A and B are shown apart, each in its own frame.
Chain A
Amino acid sequence: MKLSRTLQIASSPHVSSGASVDHIMYHVVLALLPVVGFAVYAFGLAAALVIFTATASCVATEHFLNRLNRRETPVSDWSVTITGILYGLTLPPALPLWMVVIGGVFGVGIGKYLFGGLAYNAFNPALVGRAFLQAAFPQAMTHWSEAFSPGRFTDLPSSTLTIPMAEPVYDAVTSATPLAVMKFQNATTGVPELAFGLTSGSVGETCAALILAGGAYLALRNMLNWRIPVSILATVAGLSFLMNLIAPGEYASPVFMLFSGGLMLGAVFMATDMVASPITNAGCWLYGLLIGALVVVIRYWGGMPEGVMYAILLANAVSPHIDRLIQPTVFGTRPENGEKKDEQEGTA
């Protein structure tokens, strides 16, 4: 008997860790679900519609554009779903849905597809979409409804279903965000309200505890570089602590700075977009430092109450330069290497 087989030829390694991009992306979606759940709980039907519309418009845009160019649709890799959910979470609850669609199409079409799709987006597409809306509809983007309003599960704000291109009419009780209150009235909001999301704000930015839990889940699974959020939050805390020390009345306290606005959502889920952040750990620390510093500068001295979005977009732009600047030090290329041991070993 002569053994004979058709053999498969492949270059080693013949085994793999089993990790895959769609698996990572899917887990990011899972980590976002509690935040989505809380958003719906806090802002009711309007929030559910905003998040759903945002996600659907992003997914549909990517699907349609790829089909248009006769490419296989990549929506099954979950990455555009993340973009959609994140984008939805950054919007005000009562935003007219037609504006939500426009931002989604812009974010994915210009922010992602035009750059070459997954892995080529220089900027976080969700933030590109939001930035576009901020520039196009500044009033609608700063109209905040109150969290936990009694009729939130039964009634929709009249602005939600505004017909496209019409001026939205607001009927709901409006409320300023803690950051706006701080900026324009110089009054602070209590920490428990901030940490557990009992304030007004964007759909998904209000509950810091759930955002941190989602981030911790991803960090433990090695699907998120924890150095980025830690660096951002530490920088914001450090700088605001210093400023607060110099002029306590004028500048908000570190705790308020950390838990208000979109900082948590941005630091944990937006800034950590792997494609648009540096690849080395040292680079990630620097990148976080940059975002943190920009957030503090914009909040304290800028014209707007919130600056997380612009801080991240600016840092995205700098990220390739950070990679140029900081590369890993290759094994055996440090100049002092090996020599320092000599005296203790004492060989002739």
Chain B
Amino acid sequence: MLDNFRRSTFRHGIHPEEHKDDTRDLAIRRFPFAPTLLVPLSQHLGKPAKVVVREGQEVSRGQTIAEADGFISVAMHAPASGVIRKIGRVPSISGDLVPGVYLEPYPASTQEVADGEPCRLETATPDDIISAIQRAGIVGLGGAAFPTHAKLKIPEGKSLDTVIINGVECEPYLTTDHRVMLEQTDDVFMGLRYLMKATGAGRGIIAVEANKLDAVETLRKACPADLPITVEVLQVKYPQGAEKMVIKALLDREIPSGGLPLDVHAICVNVATTAEIGRLLPHGQGIQERVVTIGGPGIVKKGNYRIPIGTPVRFALEQVGVTDDMTRVFLGGPMMGPAVSSLDVPLTKGTSGITAVTRAETGAHGERRIYPCIRCARCVDACPMYLNPSQMGILAKNECYTEMAEEFHLMDCFECGSCSFVCPSHIPLVQYFRLAKRMLRKTARPA
């Protein structure tokens, strides 16, 4: 207990129940191929990838099916060997149909992945590594899905001293990063070598929360002596996995409002992303699958699974089984994960978990009485960005969106949901803020 208080962390934040015990000790298992895989062309922030296959074409697992279109874009690879059935639109979590590829795996498709042109650590230049990461289709696997290579290109006039590997995983239920750190320890360090060579950073820090001490021990034991790398333990607190919070906790530096980690001479890469870099680059392969925690009280066979990209949520849930009283499914953890409206939605590179809960968890939660704001200040004390959610909630209710942005820094809100979590009046604060941002974007767009 006392030990936990001595560990560094950021200010404010919350302590939701962790619910990680069900899956933390379960080794990663492979998943079969679904009858049809739906691969969206935009699983990342930035421009969608350009398709380089045609309908009816046979592809082998790991083959590039779409190439990056511009710098802020990454390639897509075939998650299985099979036939491209259709190039059209696929369902997405937002409810929109988005451009994508329907791939029908061969019944006998193996897990074997064909090697491409390797990117050798010893001989590659920083630019070689950056373009190899882009070609491998690597994006932030923590959930944000920002193309990783785009972070590594240091613009003129900026400098970098620290690469932070983010193994915080602060969302309840999720244990994918935890398992990756335990099972792919060598991949993590290999990936970190690539990252440090690409950026020229002087040191690397792997940040882990104190609820994963076994991973800390494993990483410290395997830590190569020739690299300036440390493994740091942070206090358990949500939302420490957010880039701004983990940098604040480790280095006590605040990313300026509207700025990037590079403004404080650091970059932050998710630990599973790092492991993928270390696993794929030496073989010239691309991302065809990712580790996903399927958990929550609505799931029968909870666990950590390595699932092909494009697997529909329905297929994944059929494999693990759901309870009869399962009522809500969301992708990711319960704090930030969007709820699934259709089980046809496919898993993408940014999906770190599928969590299914029952009425027991959500029933009361959805039907709670909403009181007016009594100004108890719990949201003010929880907000990791030091905003005033109470005041912004009142403004949002009165549709004063411009005032929220101009006077109360609405745009600094990264929607962690801590304010809604603590509010005793049950005011949907972060939900209001999402709406407000959307309304502002709408009006800002020229007619």
Q: Are A15 and B365 in contact (CB under 8 A)?
A: yes
Q: Are B343 and A12 in contact (CB under 8 A)?
A: no
Q: Which residue of A lies closest to B366 (CB)?
A: A10
Which of A8, A13, A77 is packed against the most chain B CB atoms within 10 Å?
A13
With contact pairs A23-B424, A338-B264, A347-B202 given, residues A331 and B330 touching in the complex (Cβ less than 8 Å): no
Instruction: Flag the segment in A198-206, A251-259, A273-281 that touches B.
Output: A273-281
A191–B160 alpha-carbon span in the complex (Å)? 63
A219 within 8 A of B: no
B79 within 8 A of A: no
Q: Mark B221-240, 1 if CB is under 8 A from A, else 0.
A: 00000000000000000000
Q: Which residue of B lies closest to A345 (CB)?
A: B161
The residues of B that contact A247 with a CB separation of less than 8 Å are none
A82–B421 alpha-carbon span in the complex (Å)? 26
A341 within 8 A of B: yes
Size category of the binding interface on chain B: 35 or more
CB distance from B122 to the nearest CB of A (A): 25
CB proximity to A under 8 Å, residues B327-364 = 327-330, 334-343, 357, 361-362
CB proximity to B under 8 Å, residues A110-154 = 117-120
| Complex partner residue of B420 from A7, A16, A24, CB under 8 angstroms | A16
With contact pairs A279-B380, A332-B255 given, residues A15 and B421 touching in the complex (Cβ less than 8 Å): yes
Q: Are A279 and B265 in contact (CB under 8 A)?
A: no
Q: Are A3 and B343 in contact (CB under 8 A)?
A: yes
With contact pairs A330-B257, A333-B257 given, residues A19 and B424 touching in the complex (Cβ less than 8 Å): yes
CB distance from B257 to the nearest CB of A (A): 4
Q: Are B387 and A8 in contact (CB under 8 A)?
A: no
CB proximity to B under 8 Å, residues A312-336 = 323, 327-334
Q: Are A347 and B434 in contact (CB under 8 A)?
A: no
A69–B341 alpha-carbon span in the complex (Å)? 40
With contact pairs A5-B326, A274-B374 given, residues A12 and B337 touching in the complex (Cβ less than 8 Å): yes
The residues of B that contact A330 with a CB separation of less than 8 Å are 257, 385-387, 409, 412
| Complex partner residue of A12 from B258, B314, B334, B373, CB under 8 angstroms | B334
Which of A3, A12, A225, A334 is packed against the most chain B CB atoms within 10 Å?
A12
With contact pairs A16-B421, A275-B375, A330-B257 given, residues A341 and B365 touching in the complex (Cβ less than 8 Å): no
Q: Mark B417-443, 1 if CB is under 8 A from A, else 0.
A: 100111111101011001000000000
CB distance from B423 to the nearest CB of A (A): 8
Q: Which residue of B lies closest to A120 (CB)?
A: B372
CB distance from A14 to the nearest CB of B (A): 4
A185 within 8 A of B: no
CB distance from A344 to the nearest CB of B (A): 11
Q: Are A5 and B322 in contact (CB under 8 A)?
A: yes
B251 within 8 A of A: yes
Q: Which residue of A lies closest to B376 (CB)?
A: A274
CB distance from A338 to the nearest CB of B (A): 4
Q: Are B328 and A10 in contact (CB under 8 A)?
A: yes
Q: Are A7 and B412 in contact (CB under 8 A)?
A: no
Q: Are B431 and A11 in contact (CB under 8 A)?
A: yes
A165 within 8 A of B: no
A331–B248 alpha-carbon span in the complex (Å)? 10
Q: Which residue of A lies closest to B434 (CB)?
A: A11
A21 within 8 A of B: yes
Q: Which residue of B lies closest to A330 (CB)?
A: B409
A29–B166 alpha-carbon span in the complex (Å)? 45
CB distance from A227 to the nearest CB of B (A): 10
CB distance from B59 to the nearest CB of A (A): 27
With contact pairs A12-B330, A77-B371 given, residues A331 and B391 touching in the complex (Cβ less than 8 Å): no
Q: Are A7 and B371 in contact (CB under 8 A)?
A: no
Q: Are A118 and B371 in contact (CB under 8 A)?
A: yes
Q: Are B361 and A15 in contact (CB under 8 A)?
A: yes
Q: Are B16 and A119 in contact (CB under 8 A)?
A: no
| Complex partner residue of A332 from B161, B252, B254, B265, CB under 8 angstroms | B254
With contact pairs A329-B386, A331-B257 given, residues A3 and B374 touching in the complex (Cβ less than 8 Å): no
Majority secondary structure of chain B interface residues (helix, strand, loop or mixed): loop
Q: Are A328 and B339 in contact (CB under 8 A)?
A: no
The residues of B that contact A166 with a CB separation of less than 8 Å are none
Q: Are B365 and A274 in contact (CB under 8 A)?
A: no
| Complex partner residue of B390 from A223, A279, A331, CB under 8 angstroms | A279
B24 within 8 A of A: no
The residues of B that contact A333 with a CB separation of less than 8 Å are 256-257, 409
Q: Are A331 and B417 in contact (CB under 8 A)?
A: no
CB distance from A199 to the nearest CB of B (A): 34
CB proximity to B under 8 Å, residues A242-263 = none
Q: Are B388 and A279 in contact (CB under 8 A)?
A: yes
B96 within 8 A of A: no
A77–B424 alpha-carbon span in the complex (Å)? 12
B244 within 8 A of A: yes
A269–B78 alpha-carbon span in the complex (Å)? 65
Q: Which residue of B lies closest to A13 (CB)?
A: B417
B14 within 8 A of A: yes
Q: Are A332 and B412 in contact (CB under 8 A)?
A: yes
B253 within 8 A of A: yes
With contact pairs A7-B328, A10-B328, A14-B362 given, residues A279 and B335 touching in the complex (Cβ less than 8 Å): no
The residues of B that contact A279 with a CB separation of less than 8 Å are 375, 377, 380, 388, 390-391
A6–B368 alpha-carbon span in the complex (Å)? 21
B259 within 8 A of A: yes
B378 within 8 A of A: yes
A9–B342 alpha-carbon span in the complex (Å)? 10
A70 within 8 A of B: no
| Complex partner residue of A7 from B339, B373, B374, B383, CB under 8 angstroms | B339
Given A3-B322, A17-B14, A119-B372, 5 additional A-B pairs, CB 8 A:
A2-B318, A7-B342, A12-B430, A13-B420, A24-B376
Chain B residues in contact with chain A, CB under 8 A?
14, 16-17, 159-161, 172, 202, 244, 248, 251-259, 263-265, 314, 317-318, 322, 326-330, 334-343, 357, 361-362, 365-366, 368-369, 371-378, 380, 383-388, 390-391, 408-409, 412, 417, 420-426, 428, 430-431, 434
7 contacts between A and B (CB under 8 A): A10-B328, A12-B334, A21-B425, A275-B374, A337-B253, A341-B251, A341-B252
